[in-house]
Chain A
Amino acid sequence: MEKSLVIRNLHVNVAEEDKEILRGLDLELERGKVHAIMGPNGSGKSTLSYALAGHPGYEVTEGEVLFEGENILELGPDERAQRGIFLAFQYPMAIPGVSVQNFLRTAINSIRRARGEQDIRVPEFRRVLNEKMDLLRVDRGFASRYLNEGFSGGEKKRAEILQLAMLDPKLAILDETDSGLDIDALRVVSNGVNALRSPERTFLIITHYQRILNYVKPDYVHVLVDGRIVTSGGPELALELESKGYDWVRQEFAVPEAV
């Protein structure tokens, strides 16, 4: 089994609050598989996604993270993206005055240049962009709009998946992409994710709810409670969690209540 990502004994503090959120997290992601992480509010889900993407506000105090065999903890967020890590944000930022297409082309070229490749040619970029927008049922006019500015919740999430499709990462982390989506939007986003599954691409879907997993079938489910993965299993674990609730996990796996 080939590993895409290996996390060992990861401890992360939120720098501003000087509070330990991840407390010795271990996790291995198999290349080309869809892994889901489920956990209650405050368990450290978003902290994990930010720490993996290299957010400066999250301080790793212990442990290691190997991506494709390379320790990435010393790398900046841009270098991690250039190596193929993509985070779909729970709350994507608006960048006023910057169009979706201008942003996407700059991002693609930043990644290409870091890999010593040529810039994408404009006709090719247009063709791929149109293809991916069609795939995600995004109106073509979307490309000229300012990034995330005035976007509805559903549009923001679709824009994130469009970025995922365009940047073609090896590891895609989806941080609560399903939250706040109505059923139609959830279906569109899920179909997009399914269409982007490949043996070369690993997914880490972080979610509070089992709902998205009805549409994107995970290969593995991991349960995050109080900063640690307490149990892992197959897709059936998600259903069990949904019916029994997170209290069941705490009791079953003897996790002390968070202080």
Chain B
Amino acid sequence: MKKRLLCTAVAAAMAISLIACGQSSSSDQTSQAQAETAAAAETAAESAAPESEAPAESGEKKVVRVVTGWNEASFPNWPAAIEKFEQEHPDIDVQIEYTPSGEDATTKIKAELIAGNAPDIFQTWKVFFNDFVDAGYLTDLTDSYEAYGFTDGVLMNGSKNWCAPLMDAANEDAHVYGVSDFICPSVMFYNTDIFDELGLEEPTNLQELIDVSKKLKEAGIKPLVVPGAADNFLDILAKIQVQFTGLQYLLDVNQGKAKLTDDCMLQAMNVLDTLIKEEVIDPSCISYTEDDCVAALANGTAAMFSMHSQYDNQLRAAQKSNPDFHYSILKGIDFTENPVTRFSCTFGGCWVIPEQSKVKEEAKELLFYLFGEEVSETSASEGGRITGMVEANKNLGSEALQVVVENQLPYLSTDSYYLIDMLPGSVYTALRSGMQEMLQGTGDAMSTLEAAQTVMDQVIADR
């Protein structure tokens, strides 16, 4: 009997210690993570509750759970905006969850969607957005665009169709399933001090870019840096490709109706090859991340940096720590005489409302408020973001971005859609790898495109 009691006691002790171990290991995590997890669990439980239990009773607030893909610093104006929204809508409680830098919220959201307890609003990226639409997870917001005044003229050209299903991206009457957040045209930042010192004019076409680069090289400065180790290496290709192909070609590639090896894409890749062979793009940047490029431009080892405009924030931060550093954005470079469209642009993340949300109307109210004119004003002035609202962009808190507003935004259309957003991940990785081979002198334009097409074929076959 004693032995049995002893055995039971030992087994109970083991079980308790196992639970305790679990608790202690979780206590090793940061308190922030704990708080986030707890909040997520709590709100997930609330949103997963049956409709009858939804807080529709008088006096009870409806909770709208919002999950962002970025950290808090990316939305400096939102806390005040949300507070105002809650005051104007006393029946709505907004619970916002930010994602710390470097973490990926999408994996968690996928699991929550499958489990039926997804957030009421979440930010996702174009490639995943397409999958979510195909799986039927997202609420059709087409009518809401009209209802909340997101109409042509008010909205930036191309902004609405960004959140249409991939194959409908060029269709004006497409249904839309989300709201795009911030507009980031592909730009060329340049160090104005270096240009002034060497008496260089802004290049406006390929030949001028090559000539300017020669002078910069003679002065011992890297002409153009790109994040060669990152996916954003493709930004430089996107800049060129958009002038040769436009959107429909990319959609056809996705459907297997066109090949990446087609002549228009080959021409674009040949321009890139020229930039590499003429050493406009410095070969050392094969190991560069975006941060390395920002540092190279800020400390004067490089004169130009090809990236999308969101990196203006990092450059402004660099300028704060080094007031002697000055930069601007080139008005635009024509890589061909008759471009299909002049500028490439990512319209950013897609903010969506899942079908499974139990507070869809409240979520719509909040979503169109956060990206409406009022909040967009402060997103532009305080956050330094180019927004989807035409008027709001007139108050941008960044001098360099004003160049974009004046010279690039008027040209944007669905044809400007960003290459990186329009191709599957493995395909742009294959393109990036081929471009890295070109940069180190072991590859060429055609072999890069052939390798990428092989991967594209695999992806299409796998569907």
**Does chain A bind chain B?**
no
